[in-house]
């Protein structure tokens, strides 16, 4: 189709027209035909069943769009078959969850490996107008008490749930490794690069970026998808780390599922969350029991 479409090109790049101008023609054509397609839909909304040729018009406009796509590809010396294949791979990576994920700590001993299942409990403690959250994992209080660190109550005090979700769904969380004292010290370079301070700062940044996005979208309530641009940003931030091997589909799941649990924690003032790394799941299982343990040593 691309080769045959090129035969009817009236603005070939080889003419006296500049290459930029020759490429601008199909770009403008794409915009115009997309506008025509929208115009046909407008008529459909206005006229309803009276627009009896609606489907035929859609087919015609899609054909014109396809011609301009092929022409633009030709003028950039791109192969439309290859573009189509690359697009299918990209979309597959965005939504396909069938591929088996690499367990980044599978070859390490128990003291340097995430447990495949664990329970985290979030306790909300109020003193006047001050609200802080403490987190316990399998009977041990981890990290420091957290507040929103904001002028207004926005629930960020529960943001450790994001690190738990990253561990459960992506198999990755340098922050949680430090809190659970599971850093891979037996391999110094891995300990420094993957489990060190820079990686932890990047993860905190990822959580903050996702939180800002969610804040602008009602904290993802009744949302089944997120913008591809967000996933690209999050993955780009961690591109030099082991988690880069995880497909966008798992990043999407980690963002959406973590905010689903986050909303329940905020609504209920805390609670218990189960993480299952083999099933790539986190789930809210009920309210929290009173704190019965002392804080763990937070040292690395």
The per-residue pLDDT string of the chain (300 residues; one tens digit each, 9 = 90 and over) reads 999 999 899 887 666 578 888 888 899 999 999 999 999 999 889 988 888 888 999 999 999 999 999 999 999 999 999 999 999 888 887 777 665 556 899 999 999 999 999 999 999 998 888 899 999 999 899 989 999 999 999 999 999 999 999 999 999 999 999 999 999 999 999 999 999 999 999 999 999 999 999 999 999 998 889 999 999 999 999 999 999 999 999 999 999 999 999 999 999 999 999 999 999 999 999 998 765 554 555 444
Question: Residue 73: its pLDDT value, please?
Answer: 92
Q: How far apart are CA 113 and CA 244, in angstroms?
A: 19
The confidence score (pLDDT) of residue 300 equals 42
Alpha-carbon span 135 to 138, nearest angstrom = 10
CB 185 within 8 A of CB 299: no
Q: Give the per-residue pLDDT at 132.
A: 94
Question: Residue 226 and residue 256: Cα distance in Å, rounded?
Answer: 8
pLDDT at 30: 92
Cα dist from 185 to 106, 174, 175, 249, whole Å: 14, 12, 15, 30
Q: State the pLDDT at residue 298.
A: 46
Kind and range of the H or E element at 180? none
Does the pTM of the predicted model rise above 0.75? yes
For position 291, what pLDDT does the model report? 58
Q: How far is CA 50 from CA 41, 60, 71, in A?
A: 12, 19, 35
């Amino acid at each position: 189709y691309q080769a045959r479409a090129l035969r009817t090109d009236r603005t070939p790049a080889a003419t006296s027209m500049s290459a930029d101008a020759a490429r601008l023609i199909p770009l403008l054509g794409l915009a115009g035909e997309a506008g025509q397609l929208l115009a046909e839909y407008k008529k459909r909304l206005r006229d309803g069943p009276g627009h009896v040729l609606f489907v035929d018009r859609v087919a015609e406009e899609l054909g014109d769009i396809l011609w301009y796509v092929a022409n633009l590809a030709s003028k950039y010396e791109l192969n439309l078959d290859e573009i189509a294949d690359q697009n299918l791979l990209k979309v597959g990576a965005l939504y396909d969850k069938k591929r088996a994920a690499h367990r980044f700590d599978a070859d390490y001993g128990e003291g340097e490996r995430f447990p495949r299942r664990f329970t985290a409990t979030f306790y909300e403690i109020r003193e006047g107008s001050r609200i802080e959250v403490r987190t316990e994992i399998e009977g041990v209080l981890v990290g420091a008490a957290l507040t929103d660190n904001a002028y207004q109550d926005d629930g960020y005090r529960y943001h450790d749930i994001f690190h738990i979700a990253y561990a459960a769904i992506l198999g990755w969380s340098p922050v949680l490794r430090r809190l659970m004292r599971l850093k891979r010290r037996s391999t110094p370079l891995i300990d420094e690069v993957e489990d060190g301070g820079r990686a932890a700062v990047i993860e905190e940044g990822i959580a903050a970026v996702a939180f800002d996005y969610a804040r602008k979208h009602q904290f993802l309530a009744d949302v089944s998808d997120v913008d591809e641009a967000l996933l690209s940003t999050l993955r780009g931030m961690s591109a030099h780390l082991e988690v880069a091997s995880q497909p966008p589909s798992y990043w999407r799941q980690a963002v959406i599922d973590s905010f689903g649990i986050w909303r329940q924690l905020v609504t209920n003032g805390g609670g218990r969350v189960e993480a299952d790394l083999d099933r790539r799941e986190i789930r809210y299982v009920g309210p929290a029991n009173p704190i019965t343990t002392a804080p763990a040593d937070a040292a690395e």
